[in-house]
Structure 1
Amino acid sequence: MQNLSSVQINATSDRSLTVIVKVCVVIPIFSIFLYFIILMLHTFASHRHFLESPRYILFTYMLANDTLQLLTSVLLFLFVMAQVKFALVFCAPLLFFSTATFLNTPLILAVMSLERYVAIFYPMRRPSAWRAERIWLIILAIWLLSCVQPVVDFVLSKPRSAADVLTMPVQCKTAVLNVSPAQMLFKVVLNALFFAVVAAVILFTYVRILLGTRTMRQDRASVSKALHTVLLHGLQLLLSTSAFTIPFTEHLIVLHVGWLREHMSFLNYVSFVVMPRVLSPLIYGLRDESLRTHMRRSPLCCSARGCGSSKVGHRGSKGKSPGK
């Protein structure tokens, strides 16, 4: 009996150490991401010309969406690590926003690629829907499309009774709602359709801009930046789709390497869910020269105090419009 008690204590101690290590990996990554997001949003709010550009409005929306996605994802991760259970009625909103914001990302990338296409080919007669004051209609359409899958999940999931939803504690995981083969089939088909359409849009805009450079009279530097931006959207899409490899990588590595499934799930979570969401907006935002310059002068930036020539630089770049 004493040996059994000792084994249980050691197992509990090992699990506690594992949980602490996992939390200490995720929380600093999320904190660094949150700092840069707050810095970018503060920069946008402090300089009005950013909010007059459809490109930067869409990018701001992407920042807000990725922040909400990571926030709900990290909360669900912490609940699982702490083995917290609560009623499905409180778990459902977290699962809803986590799924909707996840699907939001590829749609935003498609719209941002189309915005570059419109800016290059219709600079003087931009369609009204793509103007800064009307771009919110496109954002609303993106959000409504992203809500289709979680709404269907809730409709198809059938709890045993209303009392179960209000009182029965459950571990807040996506599997709580994915209980029928019809749900899984719908999710696979919808995800494949989302990412196939987005990939087609990004490929179309890139090829169209590339072929159109021979006949366009626009500044070649602007066109080159647009091409690089569309390519970056393709990279961001690949990072987003990497999350769908999780079931396959878990099965293969657990089968051939012998890792515990919970450790493999954590590695996949960090590699394919957290890191793509962290890197995607940071790479896109920090490569923008205009945004990067204003971020360095922000009082929230740790290097702002050392910029002795910030005022001079600000005067020199005040009249510049954001690059394409």
Structure 2
Amino acid sequence: MAANDSSVYANDDLIIVQFFISLFLCINFLLITVFFMKDFFYTTMRYIFFALTLMSDCVFLMLSDVLLILTYFEFTIPMLLCLMVYVAVSLCFFITPVTLTVMTLERFVAICMPLRHGELCSTRSALHCILIVHAISALPDVIFLSIFFATVNRSYYTQSTLCSMEIFILHTWQGHIRSAISQFYFLIMVIIIMFSYFKIMKVARAASGQNRKSTWKGLRTVVLHGFQLFLCLFQLWCPFIEAAVLQISLVLYVNVRYFNYMVFILSPRCLSPLIYGLRDEKFFVALRSFVLCGLYKKQLSNEL
């Protein structure tokens, strides 16, 4: 009876996760559609990076959800396929916080260096930054996988396994290296966000009138980026906690992974639509116009 109850609860948890992921994916796809509706959005740096985070989050949510389902049903897949999924998930894991850091710098330039904003934050600069973001995000994968490939033989790739990030850590020191790289990345991101926060705070106190309102709004955006990064930082420790729990009990491992997934994976990624999708006036007007089938088309043209 207890085993049946546990199975029911597990199924309920899985259904809840599927509901939230479906909801977030629908919202993200809707916002991406709105992004491509108006050339104003895909020629403005902050909206370009907003769309990049949405796309990265969509890929991350779908792939991580697949891994979660495989874990729940204890379904094994070939190691080589698991490796490809790991690369994609790991890349998207870093793209979001790195992009948030770049978006924070864009707000810093817009508020603290308004005369140079057009020059430094042009569409061409945005495209160059996207390449840099992907290169920086891929670097931990290159380092970690180079070490992994050097420590395993070919027969390892022909095995079938329960796919998770922990299986690629064959030695304790590999986990330490991955942890050190991730913590270095997040330390740099935190420093950049804190620097931007205090600089914008200084400008906000000196501003007046409409400029003051705009500056404080930018400051709140930086704070929300910082909170997202804080949640992503906690996500860094999840694999190590899960790896320790896995040695104790598979059932406990599944429950802990479910909790971590909801709090540290879903939560920070549901904030992106809020920060730039609903709080941004121009984007909100475009979204409302699209949802209401063009009822506000005239208002959208006037406001954009």
Q: TM-score range by the shorter chain?
A: 0.7 to 0.9
- Residue 231 of structure 1: aligned partner: 223
Q: Which amino acid aligns with 2:228?
A: Q
Segments of 5+ residues of structure 2 without an aligned counterpart are none
Q: Normalising to structure 1: TM-score of the pair?
A: 0.82
- Cα–Cα, structure 1 residues 61 and 314, in superposed 2: closer, same or farther, change >3 Å? same
Q: Residue 315 in 1 paired to residue 298 in 2?
A: yes
Of 265, 273, 278, 1:286 maps to: 278
CA distance in 2, matches of 1:86, 1:52: 42
Of 72, 78, 82, which residue of structure 1 is paired with 2:63? 72
> Hey, what's the Cα distance between the residues in 1 that align with 2:260 and 2:220?
29
Residue 229 of structure 1 deviates from its aligned partner by: 1.1
Q: State the match for 2:289 in structure 1.
A: 297
Task: Tell me which residue corresponds to 2:145.
Answer: 154
Q: Distance in 2 between matches of 1:177 and 1:250?
A: 14
Residue 212 of structure 1, aligned match among 178, 196, 203: 203
Is the counterpart of residue 271 in structure 1 residue 254 in structure 2?
no
Q: Answer yes or no: is the 8 Å Cα contact 2:197–2:219 preserved in 1.
A: yes
- Pick from 166, 173, 178: which aligns with 1:175? 166
Return closer, same or farther for 1:249/1:82 CA change in 2, 3 Å cut-off.
closer
Look up the equivalent residue of 1:30 and give its one-letter code: I
* Identical-residue share of aligned pairs (%): 25
Q: Which of the pair is proportionally richer in helix?
A: 2
Task: Give how far 1:275 is off.
Answer: 2.5
User: Which of the pair has more CA radius of gyration?
Assistant: 1
Mapped contact 1:239–1:276 kept (Cα < 8 A): yes
Q: Structure 1: where are the runs of 5+ without partners?
A: 1-6
Query: TM-score, normalising length from structure 2?
Result: 0.87
- The equivalent residue for 2:96 is 105
* 2:109 maps to 1:126: no
Q: CA RMSD in A?
A: 2.7
User: Per-residue deviation at 1:162?
Assistant: 1.5
Q: How does 1:8-87 map to 2 (within 5 A)?
A: 11=3, 13=4, 16-87=7-78
Tell me the secondary structure at the aligned position of residue 172 of structure 1. Answer: coil
Q: Distance in 2 between matches of 1:154 and 1:96?
A: 9
Q: Residue 115 and residue 214 in structure 1: after superposition, are their counterparts in 2 closer, same or farther (change >3 A)?
A: same
Q: Which of the numbers 202, 212, 232 marks the counterpart of 1:240? A: 232
Cα deviation, 1:284-303, whole Å, max 9, x if unaligned, reads 121112212211221xx3xx
**Contact 2:289-2:300 within 8 A present in 1 as well:** no
Cα distance in 1 for partners of 2:239, 2:31 equals 34
- Name the aligned partner's letter for residue 36 of structure 2: A
Q: Compute the displacement of 1:82 (Å).
A: 2.2
CA distance in 2 between partners of 1:194 and 1:290 (Å): 32
**Kept after mapping to 2: 8 A contact 1:106/1:194:** no
Q: Which amino acid counterpart does residue 87 of structure 2 have in structure 1?
A: F
Determine the C-alpha separation between the residues in 2 that align with 1:176 and 1:260. Answer: 18
How many residue pairs align between the two structures? Answer: 297
- Measured after TM superposition, the shift of residue 213 of structure 1 is 3.8
After superposition, give the CA deviation of every residue in 1:31-66 in whole Å (9 maximum; x if it has no partner).
000110111011111111111211100111111111
* Matched residue, 1:3: none
